[in-house]
Structure 1
Amino acid sequence: MKKLLSWLLIVSFVLTLLVPFTGLIVHKLASTVFLLLCLGHALVYRKKLGTRRWALLGGVVLAFVSGVLSLVFAALPWVLALHKAVSISCVFFLAIHIFAYRRILKGD
């Protein structure tokens, strides 16, 4: 079950990143699924969550909220710039997290 959750997280993560190819609607749907899977992932591994992992989850939630706000406040370009900055930093730290815990995906 944990391995399936990890693979679903990776698939939704990649779909979220492919916004130039898939379009905004797929991006919104994939990011919503990714957020829900991240919350489920945090519940499964809640006993192992340290400060950095809580910060990573907070960054994902912040990226989602800033994305919703960038849709609501489309006239304010700084909101979209904030969303891009937070999202790029989250992608960077999520890639490190995936690399550090890739043994789960291998089945070890």
Structure 2
Amino acid sequence: MVGFTDIPSQKLEDLVTFPVLIPVKVVSHKSISHAEFVKEIVEVTQGLIADFVEDKIEHRASTSGNYHALTLMITFENVEQVHALDAALRAHHMVRMVL
């Protein structure tokens, strides 16, 4: 699946006008606690997106309850923020996938 973060910066800038609201889905590795996952993802996100608040998160657990998917509604000011957050989330040890 190709997401915004897989698109080169110049093409992304051609597709959207910044600032832009983009949903970012983050999926945990197996058996990570929901509370701990949310806490970590909020810290990473707020480190790069100053005005991000936790109430802009939707949570969904897998049917078995082993995985958590968080959808973050983020207003990005520029393409650099998109790529920086994507890289930070993908590098986090609790994150299985970013869409």
TM-score using structure 1 length? 0.35
Q: Radius of gyration: which is bigger?
A: 1
Higher strand proportion (structure 1 or 2): 2
Tell me which of the two structures has the higher relative contact order, counting C-alpha pairs closer than 8 angstroms and 6 or more residues apart.
2
The structure with the greater share of residues assigned to helix is: 1
Q: Name the TM-score, length of structure 2 as normaliser.
A: 0.36
